Amino acid sequence: PLPLALSLPLDLDVEADAQRDRFIRVHAARGPDGMPVLDALRQQGAGTLGSLVQASGLARLPAGRRIARGDAVPYYDFAHWLA
C-alpha cells in the first residue's frame, strides 16, 4: 500500500487518462498567498531521472479525472518514505 497522502493544489492543468492513475514528479512550494502548492517538474519521462533529484514527492492524478490548475490531488512526500 502507498503511504498516507496529503491533498494539495496542483499548479497545472492535466487532461484525464481514462485508463489509469498517473504519478508525476512535483516539488512542494509556497504559492504567492503563502499556501502550499505542488509545482509539476518539466521532465516527467521514464528515462529522465534528473528531475527526480529536484522532486519533493509524487502527485497522483486519478484515472478519468481532468485536473484544473488549483485542484487538490493526493501528494506523497518523499520525506515520509525515507523517515
| Each residue's pLDDT expressed in tens, for the chain with a length of 83 residues | 667 889 999 999 999 899 999 999 999 999 889 999 999 998 777 777 777 788 999 999 999 999 999 999 999 999 888 76
pLDDT for res 54:
85
The residues near 5 (Cβ < 8 Å, ≥ 6 apart) are 60, 74, 75, 76
Closest CA to 38 of 51, 24, 49: 24
Q: How far apart are CA 27 and CA 25, in angstroms?
A: 7
Q: Which pTM value belongs to this model?
A: 0.85
pLDDT for res 83:
67
Domains, in order of start, for the chain: 6-78 (2.40.340.10)
